[in-house]
C-alpha cells in the first residue's frame, strides 16, 4: 500500500467537506425531517412603529391543519416573551402591545406543514394603530423625537470613546494640514444563501431539549438557552445544540432570533419536533444587519504628508435594540483599529449608539467587530490627505506606514500589533498591477476626456478575539478549544468549539494536526457543532477560528506528542531526553534506525503503555490567545467610468494578502476570492435603506443586488508571509481580510477618477445613478 | 405617493357627482373589487379588493370614510386598508367644475402610503402600476357615465 501523504501545513489539500457539498449531500436545517414534525410560521408587522390593538386568531385556527396561534401574551405566561441580546439589551420575542420595526414578529402559527402554517399566518387579523416613526439616527437624537424604547430614557443607547482626546485636539490645533469628511457606511445584510432556521425537539419523558439550529456559536447558545429558561426547569445538561452544515454565516448566525425561541416554546408545549425556517424576505428584513455607521472623520498632518493625528466621531444606528455580537466590553467592537497601517502619534475615536425604528443588530458582517467601518474610513481619509498634500496615494502610504522594525507596535489607540511589513505588501501589489504605467495611462486618458481611476487600500485587520482579560461575550471568555483522541490504529478524531460555515475546517484543522503529529490528514476526522460531544468554545466569527481553535489544535497536538514521547521512550528503552522528533516518529538521537512511528506509539498507548501511566492518547486544549492577530494587505483597484451611464467598471483588482503562515493555500485563495466578492458588493451594489415610514428597501434579491459571476471582476491575488510571533503555527486568519479591505480600494479608485472634477468623496454603494449625478453636477456627463 | 389629474366627462355635473359618490356605481370600475358594504350611507363603506403587484397579489380589506362632501362641488375621502403583511392608508379628493359645453371637469388627487410586504417588494412597480390602474379606472368611469 502506498504511503498516505501527511498533507500538513502549506499543502493545497482538496476540501474534504466538498465530497458531500458538491453532490448535494450536505445536511442543512431545512433538509431535516423528523417524525411528527410540525412547522411554525410567523405573522410580521407591516408597520415600523404601531400599537397592537387586537390580534384575532379565529380565522387562522379554522384553517385545516393549523394547530395553534401564539402571541406575546402566551409567552408571557412563561416569562419568555422577551430575551436578552448578546449586548445585554432586551429584544421582544413576541410583543405584548407594540411593534418597533417593520417585519417584527407579532404572532406565530403552528401547522402540520409549512404551507398550512403560512395559510394560517395570512388568516391572522391584527389591528394596528400607527405611531410616529424615526429611521434617521440623527433625528432620533433630536429633542422631541419619537421614542423608540418605552423602557429607556431616550434614543441614545451608549457613548463609548477611546484614546486621548486632549492630545488629539492639541495635535489638530498645531496641524499644518487637516482634512475632514462625513462618511456613511450603509446598512447591509449578510444575505447568506441559507436563511436562519431550527428544529426544536423536546423529549418530555427525559425533560431534554435538542435544538438543531443555524448557529455559528453552538456552545454560547446552549448557555444562553439555559440562562433564559432556567426558571422553567431546563438546565444546561438537558440542552443539546447541534449546528449541522451551514450555508453561509458571515456573522448573521451569531445572534439568537425570536424564531428560535418560538420553535422551542412550541415544541415544549406540543411535545412534537417543531421546525422554523425563514423565507428570503424574513431573513433580509428582520435578521441582524451589518454596518450602519455615520462617521465624521478628520486627519491632521504636516505639509510634507506626515500624519500626526486622527479624530473619528461616529453615530451607530442599532435599530430597535442593540443586538450586535461584540465582545461585552466593546460596544463599538474593535473600531479602535481605526489608525490602520499608519504610525499615528495621536488618535481619538468616539461612538454613540442610537435606537431607531429599524430591525436590530449591528453584527460583524464578515469582519471582526466593526473593523470594516474603521478600515474603510481610514483608507478613504488617507487618500484624501494624500491628494491634499499633493502626494501620490502610494507614496503617501509608504511614508506613513508603520515600519517592519517597529513591531511589535503599540498603536495610539492601545493595540499591540503583532507583526507586519506593510510597505512590502504594497510594493508587491504595485509591481503586480504595473502602477507607474497605470498612472501614465490615466494621465493620457484624462487628456482625452476618459475617466480612469486607481485606488489603493492598505488595510490592517485585527482578528482572533480574544485574550480573556479583555474579551468575553455575556461573561463567557473568548478562548477556543480542541480535543484530540488518537485511536489504537494511529487514526484520530478531533473536536472543536468552533463551527465551520464554509471555511473548510474539516480540511484545515486536520492539516494542523497532521503537521504536529505526523498522522496523515486523511486519517484525522474533524467534528464540530454538537455541544454534547465538542469541547466548549465560543464559535466561528470574526476570523477567530484559526487564531484560537487553530492554535488549540497545535497545543493539544503538542500535549499528545509529549505523552507519545514518554511511550516512545518506554518502547525504545531510551531516556526521553535522548529522543528526537521528526514528523511522524521519535528516534534515538544519533541512531535514526531506532525509531517508533506515531502509529506504533498510538497502538502501544492502548496495548503496551508504561506501568504507572494512564492508557490512551488524548489531549484537550482551551487556548486563551495572548494577543490578537493583525493580518494585513494591499489592494489596488483600477476602474473605468462610463460618462454616459455612470457605471463603474472594475478593470483590474490586485489583492496582496499577508495572513501569516498559510495552512492551505488553496483554501486561503478561495476565502480571498469570496471575500473580495463580498467587498465588491457593498462598494458598488448593496444597501438596505428605509423610507420615512420605515418601509425597507432591499428585502429581496431583486432590490438587494448581490454580485453574480457576471458582475464580479477577475481577481489577481498575491501574497507575502509575515508570521504571527505569538501564534503556535504563525497563522493570523484570513476569512475576512478581503471583505474588509476591498471596498476602500474601489471607492478610492472612483474618487481618483473624478478628483480633477472636484469630487472628494462618494459614499458606498457607488451605483450608476450616484456617479451619473456627480458627473452631471460637475458638467462631465455625456448626454445625447 | 401623490397622484393627481383631470378628467373631462361628457355629462352634467350633478350626474357625475351622483355616480362618483355612489360606491356601488364606482365599484363597477374599481379594479379587483370583490365585495362592497355600505356601513353608513354617504359616510362609511367597506370594500375588499384584490390587487396584483408584479408577482405579489394581495387582497385588501379597506375601510373608507367620506370626510368632506360638498355636493356637487367637492368631496374628500380617507381610507385605511390591510392585507396579510401589508397595509395602506390614503386620502383622495375630487373637485368638479362645469364646462361651457355642458360637460364636467374633474380634478382629482390622491395621497397613498403603503406599508409592509407590498411596500418592500413592489415599491419599484408602484408608480407605473398606480398610473395604469387609475387610467383604467377613469376611462371606465367616463364610459359608464357617458353611457
pLDDT confidence of A4, banded at 50, 70, 90? Answer: confident
Q: Which residues of chain B have a CB within 8 Å of the CB of A123?
A: 84
From B65's Cα to the closest Cα of chain A, the distance in A is 17
Are B84 and A122 within 8 A, CB to CB?
yes
SS3 A630: coil
Q: Is A503 a catalytic residue?
A: no
Best interface-test mutation with A: which of B48, B116, B122, B127 has the largest number of A CBs within 10 A? B116
CATH of the domain spanning A18-25+480-623: 3.30.365.10
- The closest CB to that of A46, out of B117, B123, B124, belongs to B117
- pLDDT tens for A117-148 read 999 999 999 999 999 999 999 999 999 999 99
Query: How far apart are alpha carbons A531 and A665 in whole angstroms?
Result: 30
CATH architecture of the domain formed by B2-146:
2-Layer Sandwich (3.30)
From B48's Cα to the closest Cα of chain A, the distance in A is 14
- pLDDT tens for A282-316 read 999 999 999 999 999 999 999 999 999 999 999 99
Chain B residues interacting with chain A (CB cutoff of 8 angstroms): 82, 84-87, 89, 113-117, 119-121, 123-124
Q: Across residues A765-784, what is the average pLDDT?
A: 95
The three cell numbers of residue A25 are 449531500
Contact status of A168 with chain B (Cβ, < 8 Å): no
Q: Is A366 a catalytic residue?
A: yes
Find the residue in B nearest to A107 (Cα): B85
Query: How far apart are alpha carbons A548 and A625 in whole angstroms?
Result: 6
Best interface-test mutation with B: which of A41, A46, A50, A57 has the largest number of B CBs within 10 A? A46
Q: Which residues of chain B have a CB within 8 Å of the CB of A705?
A: none
- ipTM value for the complex: 0.89
Query: Where are chain B's structural domains?
Result: 2-146
- The answer regarding whether domain A293-465+627-777 maps to CATH 3.30.365.10 reads yes
- pLDDT tens for B15-68 read 999 999 999 999 999 888 999 999 999 999 999 999 887 777 788 999 999 999
Rounded to an integer, what is the distance from CA A274 to the centroid of its chain? 29
Give the pLDDT of residue B126. 79
- pLDDT tens for A62-91 read 999 999 999 999 999 999 999 999 999 999
What is chain A's mean pLDDT, rounded?
97
How many A/B residue pairs have CB atoms within 8 Å?
A: 57
The three cell numbers of residue A138 are 440623527
Contact status of A692 with chain B (Cβ, < 8 Å): no
CATH of the domain spanning A34-131+196-277: 3.90.1170.50
CATH 3.30.365.10 domain span(s) along chain A: 18-25+480-623, 293-465+627-777
Contact status of A279 with chain B (Cβ, < 8 Å): no
Active-site position among A216, A501, A511, A599: A216
- The closest CB to that of B87, out of A46, A122, A691, belongs to A46
- pLDDT tens for A530-565 read 999 999 999 999 999 999 999 999 999 999 999 999
Count the alpha carbons within 13 Å of A650 in the hemisphere toward its beta carbon: 31
The interface residues of chain A toward chain B in range 706-725, judged by CB-CB distance below 8 A, are: none
From A283's Cα to the closest Cα of chain B, the distance in A is 13
User: Between the CA of residue B62 and those of A52, A292, A451, B90, what are the distances in Å?
Assistant: 18, 36, 53, 10
- Beta-carbon contacts of A689 under 8 Å, excluding residues fewer than 6 positions away, are A186, A187, A696, A697, A698
Asked whether the CA dihedral A436, A439, A440, A441 is positive or negative, the reply is positive
Best interface-test mutation with A: which of B84, B118, B123 has the largest number of A CBs within 10 A? B84
Are A695 and B87 within 8 A, CB to CB?
no
User: Between the CA of residue A345 and those of A299, A401, A783, what are the distances in Å?
Assistant: 12, 12, 48
- The closest CB to that of A697, out of B82, B87, B120, belongs to B120
pLDDT confidence of A2, banded at 50, 70, 90? Answer: low
Residue A536's φ and ψ, nearest 5 degrees, are: -65, 140
Are B84 and A699 within 8 A, CB to CB?
no
From B79's Cα to the closest Cα of chain A, the distance in A is 14
Query: How far apart are alpha carbons A661 and A655 in whole angstroms?
Result: 17
Q: Is A367 a catalytic residue?
A: yes
Inform me whether the pLDDT recorded for B122 exceeds 80: no
Query: How far apart are alpha carbons A402 and A423 in whole angstroms?
Result: 9
- pLDDT tens for A19-69 read 999 999 999 999 999 999 999 999 999 999 999 999 999 999 999 999 999
Are A699 and B85 within 8 A, CB to CB?
no
Give the pLDDT of residue A242. 98
The interface residues of chain A toward chain B in range 33-92, judged by CB-CB distance below 8 A, are: 43-48
Q: Which residues of chain B have a CB within 8 Å of the CB of A700?
A: 120-121
- Contact criterion met (CB below 8 Å) for A733 and A629: yes
Query: How far apart are alpha carbons A541 and A187 in whole angstroms?
Result: 19
Contact status of A118 with chain B (Cβ, < 8 Å): no
Are A695 and B116 within 8 A, CB to CB?
yes
- The closest CB to that of B121, out of A45, A128, A699, belongs to A699
**Grid cell 514521547 — which residue?**
A565
CA torsion angle A368 A369 A375 A381 (round to 10): 180
Query: How far apart are alpha carbons A364 and A540 in whole angstroms?
Result: 12
- pLDDT tens for A401-412 read 999 999 999 999
Query: How far apart are alpha carbons A232 and A216 in whole angstroms?
Result: 26
Q: Across residues A715-726, what is the average pLDDT?
A: 98
- pLDDT tens for A504-528 read 999 999 999 999 999 999 999 999 9
Q: Is A611 a catalytic residue?
A: no
Inform me whether the pLDDT recorded for A1 exceeds 50: no
Are B119 and A128 within 8 A, CB to CB?
no
Give me Rg for the CA atoms of chain B. 15
Q: Which residues of chain A have a CB within 8 Å of the CB of B82?
A: 46, 125-126, 128
Helix H, strand E, coil C: the string for A468-501 is CCCCEECCEECCEEEEEEECCCCCEEEEECCCCC
Amino acid at each position: 500500500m502506498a504511503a498516505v501523504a501527511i498533507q500538513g501545513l502549506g499543502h493545497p489539500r482538496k476540501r474534504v467537506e466538498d465530497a458531500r457539498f458538491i453532490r448535494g449531500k450536505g445536511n442543512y436545517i431545512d433538509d431535516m425531517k423528523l417524525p411528527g414534525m410540525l412547522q411554525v410560521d410567523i405573522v410580521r408587522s407591516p408597520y415600523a412603529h404601531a400599537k397592537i390593538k387586537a390580534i384575532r386568531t379565529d380565522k387562522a385556527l379554522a384553517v385545516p391543519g393549523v394547530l395553534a396561534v401564539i402571541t406575546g401574551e402566551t409567552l408571557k405566561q412563561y416569562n419568555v416573551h422577551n430575551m436578552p441580546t448578546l449586548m445585554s439589551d432586551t429584544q421582544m420575542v413576541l410583543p405584548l402591545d407594540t411593534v418597533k420595526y417593520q417585519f417584527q414578529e407579532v404572532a406565530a402559527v403552528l401547522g402540520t406543514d409549512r404551507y398550512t402554517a403560512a395559510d394560517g399566518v395570512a388568516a391572522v387579523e391584527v389591528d394596528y394603530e400607527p405611531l410616529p416613526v424615526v429611521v434617521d439616527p440623527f433625528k432620533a437624537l433630536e429633542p422631541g423625537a419619537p421614542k423608540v424604547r418605552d423602557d429607556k430614557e431616550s434614543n441614545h443607547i451608549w457613548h463609548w470613546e477611546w484614546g486621548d482626546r486632549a492630545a488629539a485636539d492639541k495635535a489638530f490645533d498645531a496641524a499644518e494640514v487637516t482634512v475632514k469628511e462625513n462618511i456613511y457606511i450603509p446598512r447591509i445584510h449578510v444575505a447568506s444563501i441559507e436563511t436562519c432556521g431550527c428544529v426544536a425537539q423536546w423529549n418530555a419523558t427525559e425533560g431534554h431539549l435538542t435544538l438543531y439550529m443555524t448557529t455559528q456559536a453552538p456552545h454560547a447558545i446552549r448557555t444562553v438557552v439555559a440562562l433564559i429558561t432556567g426558571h422553567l426547569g431546563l438546565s444546561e445538561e438537558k440542552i443539546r445544540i447541534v449546528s449541522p452544515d451551514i450555508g453561509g454565516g458571515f456573522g448573521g448566525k451569531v445572534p439568537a432570533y425570536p424564531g428560535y425561541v418560538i420553535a422551542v416554546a412550541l415544541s415544549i408545549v406540543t411535545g412534537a419536533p417543531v421546525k422554523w425556517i425563514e423565507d428570503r424576505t424574513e431573513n433580509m428584513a428582520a435578521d441582524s444587519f451589518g454596518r450602519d455607521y455615520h462617521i465624521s472623520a478628520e486627519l491632521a498632518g504636516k505639509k510634507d504628508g506626515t500624519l500626526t493625528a486622527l479624530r473619528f466621531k461616529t453615530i451607530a444606528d442599532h435599530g430597535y435594540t442593540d443586538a450586535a455580537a461584540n465582545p461585552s466590553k466593546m460596544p463599538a467592537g474593535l473600531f479602535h483599529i481605526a489608525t490602520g497601517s499608519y504610525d499615528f502619534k495621536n488618535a481619538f475615536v468616539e461612538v454613540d449608539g442610537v435606537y431607531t425604528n429599524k430591525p436590530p443588530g449591528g453584527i460583524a458582517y464578515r469582519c471582526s467587530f466593526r473593523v470594516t467601518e474603521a478600515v474603510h474610513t481610514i483608507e478613504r481619509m488617507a487618500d484624501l490627505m494624500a491628494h491634499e498634500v499633493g502626494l501620490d496615494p502610494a507614496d503617501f502610504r509608504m511614508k506613513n506606514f508603520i515600519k517592519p522594525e517597529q513591531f511589535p507596535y503599540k498603536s495610539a489607540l492601545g493595540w499591540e500589533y503583532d507583526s507586519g511589513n506593510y510597505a512590502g505588501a504594497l510594493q508587491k501589489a504595485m509591481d503586480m498591477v504595473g502602477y507607474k504605467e497605470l498612472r501614465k495611462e490615466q494621465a493620457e486618458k484624462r487628456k482625452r476626456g476618459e475617466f480612469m481611476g486607481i485606488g489603493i487600500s492598505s488595510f490592517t485587520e485585527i482578528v482572533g478575539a480574544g485574550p480573556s482579560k479583555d474579551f468575553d461575550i455575556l461573561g463567557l471568555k473568548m478562548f477556543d478549544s480542541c480535543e484530540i483522541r488518537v485511536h489504537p490504529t494511529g487514526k484520530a478524531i478531533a473536536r472543536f468549539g468552533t463551527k465551520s460555515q464554509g471555511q473548510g475546517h474539516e480540511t484545515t484543522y486536520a492539516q494542523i494536526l497532521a503537521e504536529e503529529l505526523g498522522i496523515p490528514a486523511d486519517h484525522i476526522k474533524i467534528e464540530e457543532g454538537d455541544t454534547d460531544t465538542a469541547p466548549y468554545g465560543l464559535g466561528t466569527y470574526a476570523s477567530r477560528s484559526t487564531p484560537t481553535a487553530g492554535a488549540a489544535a497545535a497545543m493539544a497536538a503538542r500535549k499528545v506528542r509529549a505523552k507519545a514521547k514518554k511511550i516512545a521512550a518506554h518502547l525504545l528503552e531510551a531516556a526521553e531526553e535522548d529522543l528526537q522528533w521528526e514528523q511522524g516518529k521519535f528516534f534515538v538521537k544519533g541512531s535514526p534506525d531506532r525509531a517508533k512511528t506515531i502509529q506504533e506509539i498510538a497502538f502501544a498507548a492502548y496495548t503496551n503503555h508504561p506501568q504507572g501511566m494512564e492508557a490512551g492518547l488524548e489531549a484537550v486544549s482551551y487556548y486563551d490567545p495572548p494577543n490578537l492577530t493583525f493580518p494585513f494587505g494591499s489592494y489596488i483597484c483600477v476602474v473605468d467610468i462610463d460618462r454616459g451611464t455612470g457605471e463603474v467598471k472594475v478593470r483590474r483588482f490586485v489583492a496582496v494578502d499577508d495572513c501569516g503562515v498559510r495552512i492551505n493555500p488553496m483554501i486561503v485563495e478561495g476565502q480571498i476570492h469570496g471575500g473580495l466578492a463580498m467587498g465588491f458588493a457593498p462598494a458598488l451594489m448593496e444597501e438596505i435603506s428605509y423610507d420615512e415610514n420605515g418601509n425597507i428597501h432591499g428585502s429581496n434579491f431583486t432590490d438587494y443586488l448581490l454580485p453574480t459571476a457576471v458582475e464580479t471582476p477577475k481577481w489577481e491575488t498575491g501574497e507575502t508571509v509575515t508570521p504571527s510571533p505569538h501564534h503556535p503555527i504563525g497563522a493570523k486568519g484570513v476569512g475576512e481580510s478581503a471583505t474588509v479591505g476591498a471596498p476602500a480600494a474601489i471607492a478610492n479608485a472612483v474618487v481618483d477618477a473624478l478628483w480633477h472634477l472636484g469630487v472628494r468623496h462618494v459614499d458606498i454603494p457607488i451605483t450608476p445613478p450616484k456617479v451619473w449625478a456627480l458627473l452631471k453636477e460637475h458638467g462631465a456627463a455625456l448626454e445625447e | 405617493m401623490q397622484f393627481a389629474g383631470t378628467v373631462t366627462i361628457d355629462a352634467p355635473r350633478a350626474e357625475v357627482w351622483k355616480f362618483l359618490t355612489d360606491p356601488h356605481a364606482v365599484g363597477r370600475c374599481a379594479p379587483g373589487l370583490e365585495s362592497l358594504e355600505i356601513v353608513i350611507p354617504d359616510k362609511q363603506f367597506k370594500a375588499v379588493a384584490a390587487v396584483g403587484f408584479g408577482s405579489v397579489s394581495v387582497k385588501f380589506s379597506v375601510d373608507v370614510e367620506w370626510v368632506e362632501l360638498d355636493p356637487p362641488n367637492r368631496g374628500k375621502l380617507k381610507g385605511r386598508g390591510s392585507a396579510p403583511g401589508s397595509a395602506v392608508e390614503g386620502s383622495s379628493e375630487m373637485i368638479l367644475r362645469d364646462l361651457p359645453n355642458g360637460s364636467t371637469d374633474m380634478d382629482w388627487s390622491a395621497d397613498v402610503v403603503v406599508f409592509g410586504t407590498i411596500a418592500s417588494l413592489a415599491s419599484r412597480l408602484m408608480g407605473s402600476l398606480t398610473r395604469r390602474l387609475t387610467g383604467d379606472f377613469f376611462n371606465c368611469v367616463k364610459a359608464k357615465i357617458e353611457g
